Amino acid sequence: MKTDIRTRNNVRVLGRADGPVLLFAHGFGCDQGMWSRVLPRFTDEYKVVLFDHVGAGGSDLAAYTPAKYATLDGYVADVLELCEELDLQDVTFIGHSVSAMMAIAAGATAAERLARIILVAPSPSYMDYPEDGYEGGFSRADLDELLESLDTNYLVWAATMAPVIMGNPAVPALGTELEGSFCRVNPTIARQFARVAFLSDVRSLLHKVSVPTLIMQASADLLAPDHVGRYLQEHIPHSTLVQMEATGHLPHVSAPEETADIILGYLQQSE
């Protein structure tokens, strides 16, 4: 029997029932709880839709199948199904990290439900493609080593990488929080989702994105260097790039006020 999508993806709807729709999508090793610091800024005026990707948070783990979720397509299909099931129109899709890739895919192939997309700490490909002159920040050997270490001992990988990815050494509690989030994910699912996140390449879709796009480039982001944000702006037609003061790969966690200010400013300008 097919699981209801609200259960499958642990969907929550907050805020103003008749407000403009904001759909928040979390990154690898996280769940919808990572948005909690910014939500109070939006729930008075907006209809806020939160969910967990299958395999994360409070999603239905029984709905996870390696075949469906071996590529971004399975996750994008879930997002579009969610929009259809809830009859969401003129959606602002706010995607962090790998979910920014999903937002790009949705903006390129299924823009009829979207008003705009907002990409938080995005990259179209983490891997370098020297033959194209593209620098994602990691060679294939780098990524193979990262994934091998993740496969060998996921908990050690989480403890080592979480503070580096968070990128706020002066506030070690934030790295500890991310480590805890990583460790709540089933390791088998985490290994496959890591491959989806780190090996996907959506560069070919960028020119097809037809909706207005905000690119939120964090500073000193190990996974998405500054030049990647500029690359996105150059290749997405109707895009705006904002360089954030926030450091690290999770600005909505480490700098929620700045993150909310930028999103709200963009929404007010474009509505």
41-74 as b/e, with b when 16 or more CB fall inside 10 Å? Answer: bbeeebbbbbbbbbbbbebbeebbeeeebeebeb
Which phi and psi (to 5°) does residue 154 adopt?
A: -60, -40
Confirm whether 97 is a catalytic residue.
yes
CA 224, 225, 231, 232 dihedral sign is positive
Query: Using the 8-state DSSP alphabet, how is residue 87 labeled?
Result: T
Q: Which of the residues 26, 96, 249, 252 is marked catalytic?
A: 249
Q: Which of the residues 31, 52, 128, 221 is marked catalytic?
A: 221
Which phi and psi (to 5°) does residue 55 adopt?
A: 105, -10
Q: Which of the residues 26, 96, 97, 125 is marked catalytic?
A: 97
Confirm whether 132 is a catalytic residue.
no
Quick one: tokens of 45? 């005026």
Confirm whether 238 is a catalytic residue.
no
| Residue type at 95 in one-letter notation | G
Q: What would the DSSP string read from start to end of 25-70?
A: E--TT--GGGGTTTGGGTTTTSEEEE---TTSTTS-GGG--TTGGG
The residues assigned a catalytic role are: 97, 221, 249
